[in-house]
Structure 1
Amino acid sequence: MTQAENNAVMYEVKDGVAKLVMQSAPVNALSRALRMGLIDGVTNALQDDSVSTIVITSSLPIFSGGADISEFSGGDLSPMLPEVLDKIEHASKPVVAVLPGPAFGGGLELALACHHRITFASNKVGLPEVNLGILPGAGGTQRLPRLVDAQTALTMIVTGKPTPVTKLPGVFDKISETPESLLADTRDYLSSLNGSNAIKRTCDITLSMDEKTQAVFDAVTQQTQKTTKGFYAPLKCIEAVRGAYTLAFEDGLKNESKLFLACMATPQARAQQHFFFAERAAGHVNDFDKSTPERAINRVAIIGAGTMGGGIAMNFANAGIPVTLLELKEEALEKGLALIRKNYENSAKKGKLTQAQVEARMSLLSGTTAYEDLADVDLVIEAVFEKMEVKKAVFSTLDSVCKPGAILASNTSTLDIDEIATATSRPEDVIGLHFFSPANVMKLLEVVKAEKTAPDVIKTCMKMAKKIRKVAVLVGVCFGFVGNRMIEPYGREANRLLLEGASPEQVDRVLTEFGMPMGPFTMGDMAGLDIGYYVRQSRQEHISHDPAYGAVADRLVEMGRNGLKSGRGAYQYEPGSRVPIPDPEVLDIAKKEAHRLGVKQRSDISDEEILVRVMFTLINEGACILEEGIAAKSSDIDVIYVYGYGFPVYRGGPMQYADEVGLGTILDKLVTYRDQLGDYGDMWLQPSDLLISLAKDGGTFKHYQK
């Protein structure tokens, strides 16, 4: 037996088999060191006469997570992954990939270049490059179609979703029943190899485009055009896979490489890769370190069993954590628990849960009308009416009944956590946990640290978010925190534009064409216009200097036009329908309000003006938040807006989008409309100091450090 070792790949020879064991934690990212280890190992095995077979496997519970995308920024990348895979595929001795866990991206491409592939039945593999705005660039679009049918290959590559290996029999030569039987099955499989079947090169398989295959391409293309508007890579994925059927293998690889480089050069790829890192960076904060202890969260209580409270409770039940729901009236409690059961039953009807899972989750939920029953909970989350006096009364009671060390959290979306904390004798235990509605669906969780929140409370909540499958972003205290504070100027300018003569449908069209899932007027109708009305009423001290602030929206609410739930809002709705229908009466209301307030209406409001005034003011507010330290980094704002508000991920978030456009351009456009709008512009469209300074220096939000 001979053995050699480097940091990324261990090489050993035993009984005629050369094993190349990838061991680059945590996911065997195909870094330059790992690629060199693979190519050196294959070279050594081919030169060793005692070796008859080569096995590539992993010491980790994953085969490989794919490319090391931190290398995309450049540097010495030799040998490139295609060079490594070409060496493997054209090896003169059989090369067998043994997958002890998932293989994604370049990891699957590595396996596809081997002559044989072995794994176990519950494993999954995938080519998720499209989620980074690119396509498989190491032969994945050419080798996968040679091993599976066109529909499967296209679906995997265009959607990027993981696929069970049992649905890929053409890819795997042997699928063990269990991970435990993989070693023995591999040994048997290797012993069965002989001269006639030892080397099976995927590149030797020839394909052609027949009518049936062409129909599959046409159908997938049509569906992709509908579902991936704004993204660049999905259609290029289809184009690359088409090359597997219309070009010789080598030409197909060249075509794939050309399309890969075209994708890499797009703002969509930059945005999607930015967001990939942004999501991971959100968990890296300076408020605690590895030595900071965590508090145990074994039992949770939720105050309020309404839509939000029930949704929050479901997150914990889904994670196997017992939850007590508190309502002051038994009727409200029973209604809340019944709604949770209904939600779970609906999931079961859709096949997402078994009935046994429904019952298991419901068994973790209990209800009470007595605060004393919360004496032993580790975390309590208040989700009651959004009024300060109500919140403080709840926290005062919690302070008296909850055990020492219990974390007291508020789900407030706008109110001052520091003031809420004054209702307790333990402000260090108080924190904001702002879930987004519907709380059992939305991935975002704003974790709001108050002035006196203890580091171990912050750490516990950030780690807890992962357990309940949320993406947590740590923010500071101010009105609306990050997400709702930024949405305020967004909605303000949309409503002002309506007052000035734009129609709700024009404003909404501009924003949906930009990539938002719905425009501000549709969003307001769906949420209920009365919600914004009550927020404006509570903020009169901040907006009273502008008598026209939200004027049309206020009139709509006062007329009983609260949105979808009342059948009329900024739009009108047919009974039972969510489709907004333009309503001329709204324009008449806007015209009358403009006349009353002395606002001149215009017929020349351009799409550009709408985008600048609605979206660029949102970005400007983000700059203020960054400068104030409410958000630690611009990428945190991007994560909040993609996951909390549906900001298009192919733009990377508002701050990444601003960097892409150029902060000088953002500033110039804002100043242009500020100056055109006179007193109103001076009041509301002033660029932030940070935007001005960064634009002047050619800087970016991404590289700003407070």
Structure 2
Amino acid sequence: MSVVDFRMENDLAWVTVNNPPVNATSTAVRQGLLDAVGKVQGARLAILQCAGRTFIAGGDMSEFDAPPQEPHLPDVVNAIECSGTPFVALLHGTVLGGGLEIAMGCAQRIAAPGTRFGLPEVNVGLVPGAGGTQRAPRLFGWDAAIDMACSGKILTAKQALDLGAIDAIEDDLENAARALTPDPRTPISLRPAPPLDADWFAEKRNTLMCRAGGQAAPLHNLDALHWATLPFSEGQPKERALHLSLRASDESRALRHAFFAERAVTQPSDISDATPRNIANIAIVGGGLMGAGIAAACLSAGYRVTLIERDQDAANAAQERVQGLIAGALKRGKIGQTKHDAQIAAFSTDVGYGAARDADLAIEAVFEDLSAKKATFAGLARVMAEDAILATNTSYLDPRDIFEGVKNPSRCVGLHFFSPAHIMKLLEVVKLPTTSKDTLATAFALGKRLRKVAVLSGICDGFIGNRMLAAYRRAAEYMLADGALPQQIDEAMRAFGMAMGPFEAQDMGGLQIAEANRRRQDTTRPAEERYVTISDQLCALGRTGQRVGKGWYAYAKGDRTPSVDPVVTDLITQYAAKNGIPRKAYAQDEIQTQLLAVLANEGARIVEEGIAENDAAVDMVKLHGYGFPRWRGGPMFTAETVGKDAIRNALTTLELQSPGSWIRAQRYR
């Protein structure tokens, strides 16, 4: 069967796209559809449908780095819309991007229950390129068109029906199509766009600017949508020209890199020929915030979960914590009552390791102390089957020390979740020298079922993400001593696109966490490495962050908004004076470039040491666990975009300011 199949059934022409897995609009599909327009002439109706699990779910992004090939999608959609034989689109699965543009070119649209609609090009830094922004306001109205094109919102079949964008929702699409008669309605491209209130539109622009975080694509899409107020013959070519120009933009290249990378990292070479084990029952030891979040994530994925605590009071508190998370999901509409009840039924708490006896996997989530973690696995190993998988959630400790003495070490692995674990998408899968391929494969299968981006990491202090975070924070604190202030650095990194600056983030997580890690490293820190004690001084003053109302910033009671605190400013300037450091002014772009250089250099060292499989793995850790802006692609991709010379120059500056404190990666020497 070709990618586009044609057959006649009495006076109906059936056109079927079969281009798995998602029927993307590749060159072959576009050509097949254009050829089909000629073949259907003379039929009563042309029925356009797709084989497999979905209607056309977008364009073929593997073609976006090459010059566009004919036939171009706008020409295909226009040919369908202007065909002498009316086209009817039978829609199922996801109708996205070019798929929705093709559907809007059809005379009628019928959807199966559960079908979803969207124009997600904004998620890869683009605007639709085949009339999507021009037809959507005419068919869906302004509100829905802006939501889809500017924010990537997905609409349900019911929402599309209520808006008049589809004609019906039917269980049996083919029989519904056979019963149709041609409808002489005006093609969408010839309809006027609904009236547009200028003040309302301006407010939409302001809202998008606040939410975009520096990303340009949402505003490009809004501009393109506004062209729908022009005749289609004027607006559509403008949209196409913008789409093609954006394909070469740094933003779109970065977002496409992220799209492909987050799929690639979940299939590392280490598990290429491995078979994941079946996991049904999971035991979690430790019911604090992290353990409760892990439990909620596992319950949401359909596992049975037993949460084990040290005593009954702690078990009761953990039960309330997990049930509260499930209730919160129900309240926010994330799950329905049936799923809520099923998750509650699949969850239990208990005291003592015996409750893990029948578990297929045990995840330790106790506090970050080597002796406590070792004792946990000694207790679990006594009661669980010798092939049951054992996973530690440690953030910094060496898993080899944690699992020392455990029988069958091939089943031992690190599963580093990020808080809050039921929300954060990153999962670092930490491989020990003894970890079997099947254990690793099981960990990645778990990550997929939890809807997380699982990234393989080797063993080093902090693994991939926290090791890079430590270097990033250290460079930021050097800048404090040398002339910057916390608010200047935080503002610069927010302008760069980070969700938070380094000092805001420390205040949110708690300065005592980083301090504990520094104390652990005191005996191994190189003597020549510069050490700035400002953070230690804050901790000594009890300024450990938001929870106590003061850290790098001050916080009013019940308010998480940071305020500049003169006490911190004085402490920083006094530190510089006491240590004879002449303070200098930092420009915003200097702060951004130096901190990017630190991240890229540490990431490159991690790849060179074999801790991460490749640059993409480093990028996905920072995107999904540390607030690095997705539209920049990750620190490694951004560094390549900026250029190696710029990174080298920034590293040279850092080395001159702090001699002996940085080790350069090979690629930046």
Q: TM-score range by the shorter chain?
A: over 0.9
Residue equivalent to 2:420: 438
1:303/1:173 Cα in 2 relative to 1: closer, same or farther (>3 Å)? closer
Q: Does 1:558 align with 2:535?
A: no
Say whether the 8 Å CA contact 1:305–1:336 is kept in structure 2. yes
Q: Name the SS of the counterpart of 2:557 in structure 1.
A: coil
Residue equivalent to 1:204: 190
Listed as ranges, the gaps of 5+ residues in structure 2 are: none
1:78/1:320 Cα in 2 relative to 1: closer, same or farther (>3 Å)? same
Residue equivalent to 2:46: 54
Residue equivalent to 2:263: 280
Say whether the 8 Å CA contact 2:387–2:408 is kept in structure 1. no
- Of the three residues 3, 8, 11, the one matched with 1:13 is 8
Residue equivalent to 1:704: none
Q: Give the whole-Å Cα distance in 1 for the aligned partners of 2:405 and 2:363.
A: 15
Residue equivalent to 2:667: 690
Residue equivalent to 1:138: 130
Q: Give the whole-Å Cα distance in 1 for the aligned partners of 2:186 and 2:5.
A: 25
Q: Name the SS of the counterpart of 2:214 in structure 1.
A: coil
CA drift at 1:120: 2.6
Alignment of 1:513-552 (within 5 A): 513-543=495-525, 545=527, 549-552=531-534
Residue equivalent to 2:249: 266
Q: Give the whole-Å Cα distance in 1 for the aligned partners of 2:532 and 2:284.
A: 34
CA drift at 1:244: 1.1
Number of matched residues? 668
CA drift at 1:116: 1.3
Q: Does 1:148 align with 2:140?
A: yes
Say whether the 8 Å CA contact 1:301–1:323 is kept in structure 2. yes
- Of the three residues 640, 644, 650, the one matched with 2:621 is 640
Say whether the 8 Å CA contact 1:116–1:172 is kept in structure 2. no
1:569/1:59 Cα in 2 relative to 1: closer, same or farther (>3 Å)? same
Letter in 2 for 1:11: F
Residue equivalent to 2:456: 474
Residue equivalent to 1:408: 390
Residue equivalent to 2:350: 368
Say whether the 8 Å CA contact 1:671–1:685 is kept in structure 2. no
Alignment of 1:419-458 (within 5 A): 419-458=401-440
1:275-328 deviation line (CA, Å, top 9, x unaligned): 1111111122111225x2221101000110111011001111111211111111
Listed as ranges, the gaps of 5+ residues in structure 1 are: 693-706
Letter in 1 for 2:586: I
Residue equivalent to 2:31: 36
1:374/1:535 Cα in 2 relative to 1: closer, same or farther (>3 Å)? same
Say whether the 8 Å CA contact 2:125–2:217 is kept in structure 1. yes
Letter in 1 for 2:250: P
CA drift at 1:400: 2.0
Q: Name the SS of the counterpart of 1:542 in structure 2.
A: coil
Structure 1 segments of 4+ aligned residues over 6 angstroms from their partners: none
Residue equivalent to 2:208: 224
Say whether the 8 Å CA contact 2:284–2:363 is kept in structure 1. yes
Say whether the 8 Å CA contact 2:120–2:153 is kept in structure 1. yes
Q: Give the whole-Å Cα distance in 2 for the aligned partners of 1:473 and 1:89.
A: 45
Say whether the 8 Å CA contact 1:393–1:423 is kept in structure 2. no
- Of the three residues 181, 184, 193, the one matched with 2:175 is 184
Q: Does 1:289 align with 2:272?
A: yes
1:129-177 deviation line (CA, Å, top 9, x unaligned): 0000001101111111221221221221111111012222355453234
Letter in 2 for 1:251: E
Q: Give the whole-Å Cα distance in 1 for the aligned partners of 2:464 and 2:309.
A: 29
Residue equivalent to 1:175: 168
1:491-549 deviation line (CA, Å, top 9, x unaligned): 11112222223211111111111111111111111111111111111111232626862
Letter in 2 for 1:26: P
- Of the three residues 74, 80, 84, the one matched with 1:92 is 84
Mean Cα deviation higher: 607-616 or 71-80: 607-616
Q: Name the SS of the counterpart of 1:683 in structure 2.
A: coil
CA drift at 1:550: 4.2
Residue equivalent to 1:311: 293
1:599/1:450 Cα in 2 relative to 1: closer, same or farther (>3 Å)? farther
CA drift at 1:345: 2.5
Residue equivalent to 1:606: 587
CA drift at 1:236: 1.4
- Of the three residues 198, 220, 226, the one matched with 1:242 is 226
1:479/1:599 Cα in 2 relative to 1: closer, same or farther (>3 Å)? farther
Letter in 1 for 2:440: I
Residue equivalent to 1:665: 646
Q: Does 1:22 align with 2:5?
A: no
Q: Name the SS of the counterpart of 1:543 in structure 2.
A: coil
Q: Does 1:384 align with 2:366?
A: yes
Residue equivalent to 1:572: 554
Q: Give the whole-Å Cα distance in 2 for the aligned partners of 1:424 and 1:599.
A: 52
Q: Give the whole-Å Cα distance in 2 for the aligned partners of 1:242 and 1:541.
A: 62
Q: Give the whole-Å Cα distance in 2 for the aligned partners of 1:634 and 1:330.
A: 46
1:372-399 deviation line (CA, Å, top 9, x unaligned): 2211110000111112222222222222
Residue equivalent to 1:624: 605
Q: Name the SS of the counterpart of 1:368 in structure 2.
A: strand
What root-mean-square deviation, in Å, do the aligned CA atoms of Structure 1 and Structure 2 show? 1.8
1:176/1:587 Cα in 2 relative to 1: closer, same or farther (>3 Å)? closer
Say whether the 8 Å CA contact 1:499–1:599 is kept in structure 2. no
1:100/1:522 Cα in 2 relative to 1: closer, same or farther (>3 Å)? closer
Mean Cα deviation higher: 348-357 or 146-155: 348-357
CA drift at 1:184: 2.2
Letter in 2 for 1:543: R
Q: Name the SS of the counterpart of 1:21 in structure 2.
A: strand
Say whether the 8 Å CA contact 1:118–1:172 is kept in structure 2. no
Letter in 2 for 1:488: A
TM-score (normalised: structure 1)? 0.91
